[in-house]
Structures are given as structure tokens and as C-alpha cells.
Amino acid sequence: MPHLQPLWEVHRTRYPKARLVEPFCGGLAVTLGLLPDRALLNDINPHLISFYRWIQQGLVIDLKMENDSATYYAYRDRFNALLKAGKGNSKEAVALFYYLNHTGYNGLCRFNSGGAFNVPFGRYKHISYQADFSAYRSLFQRWTFSSGDFEALRIQESDFIYADPPYDVPFRQYAADGFSWEDQLRLAHWLAALPNTVVASNQATERIVSLYDSLGFTLYFLDAPRMISCTGDRTKAKEMLAIKVAQDD
């Protein structure tokens, strides 16, 4: 946020009705930090977007939520059954997704090749669940949510783009199809071709740094905490911010 906020403020001064666009909106940390009046928030995970769309309607979860392994696996089976039945957008499925995401191992959101949620029980000592999201309704109604590939997004001249894709690390199974190196290449070239102000973050692997440097981005490096890890490793990781400012900004 300390790096993004100044860029966003400069951009919003030029475009008072500027829209924040996140092709990989995830947990909305950046959007909730910047609080734009307008936003296009996309994620390839349709269950996450369904959750946000239900919040737009004033979601209140009536599911009994317990930090218990038997409950967890029963709810995981029910969630996967709803997905198989084509009811992944239902209020019940959204409530189950919220519960599973908070109770599963290490904060992972992982699906197998068949599209089934397969994260094991998390064994947390304490979990603070929230059932009533109605307080967020008016805020979320200002924003547009979509689920699909980033290249399908319709970008406007005044948009500020923040791209936070699955990082270039061995674990990338956030969605059933994963996010390959070819996707990383496709994203970087798509971002470079946009005339907008663009900020992209990623793990500072050698090939990622070389890729964004070759496309003319200005690169910054910082140590970032690992909030989610498939191994439980919380060692700080070297992260890259690649910035391309629109010529007139």
C-alpha cells in the first residue's frame, strides 16, 4: 500500500472518475485499502466472486460454523456436491466456501483437476468467523465483480491497473487449471501493451525479473511476508513491483 497509494492518488487527480481494475482481486486487500469509487474486480475463482456478489446483496450466513474436523469434512463434501450439481452460485455454497476458506489448512484455496475443493482441515487453535456481512453491502455495490481470464477485461482509458497474479512458485493450483509460465508471459505482455498506468507484483524470481525488465517496466524490490503457504513456511520472500506509468501521468 505505501507504494501503490501515491501512484493511485496521482492517477485519480488526473482522472477524478478513475476506475481501479484488479484482474486478480483475491482477498481485496488493495481495493479495501484504496477504497475507489469505481472498480472492476476480477478473479478466475468463480466461488470467490460469488461470495462478493452475495455480499452486494447483504449476505448473512446462517450456517453453523465450528473449528472441528468432522464438521469441516462434512461441509467440504457438501460443498463439492453442490459444485457437481451446478449449484456453486447458491447462498449455501457461498456460506460453505467462506467456512472452508477460513478453516482449511494454512489459508489455502485449492482445487484438484476435477474442480473439487481438496484442502485438508487446518487445525487452528481459534478462528473468528463472521456471519453478518450486511455492513459491506453499500460499499460493494459501488464495484463490479467478474470471473474470467484477464484478457477478456474491457479496459478504459482512465483505468488504473493493479495485477497480483498467482506468483511464479511451484504451488499455483488456486484454480482447477492452475497458472502456468505461459500465463505469466501472456499477462506480462498484455500489461505492457496497455497504455494505462500499471502496477504488477510477483515473486522476484530470476525469470520474472528478466521478463518485466525486458518489457520496459521500472522494477522495485521488497521483502514481503508470506501470509499463505502450502508448507507453513513464513520466511519473508523477495517480491517485485513492476511499474509502468501512463505517459501523461
- In this prediction, residue 237 has a pLDDT band, given cuts at 50, 70 and 90, of confident
CB 104 within 8 A of CB 74: no
Which CATH number applies to 4-45+139-244? 3.40.50.150
CB 39 within 8 A of CB 143: yes
Residues with Cβ within 8 Å of 49's Cβ and at least 6 positions away in sequence, in order, are 42, 43, 145, 146, 147
pLDDT of 189 higher than 90: yes
Beta bridge partners of residue 132, listed in sequence order: 60
Residues of the chain with CATH 3.40.50.150: 4-45+139-244
Residues of the chain with CATH 1.10.1020.10: 61-131
d(CA 119, CA 126): 18
Burial grade of 27 (CB within 10 A; 0-12, 13-18, 19 or more): middle
**Model confidence over 4-53: pLDDT tens digits?**
999 999 999 999 999 999 999 999 999 999 999 999 999 999 999 999 99
Q: pTM of the full predicted structure?
A: 0.90
pLDDT at 162 (0 to 100)? 98
Class assignment of domain 61-131? mainly alpha
Q: Is the Cα torsion angle 146, 109, 33, 180 positive or negative in sign?
A: negative
d(CA 121, CA 127): 13
**Model confidence over 125-179: pLDDT tens digits?**
999 999 999 999 999 999 999 999 999 999 999 999 999 999 998 654 444 457 8
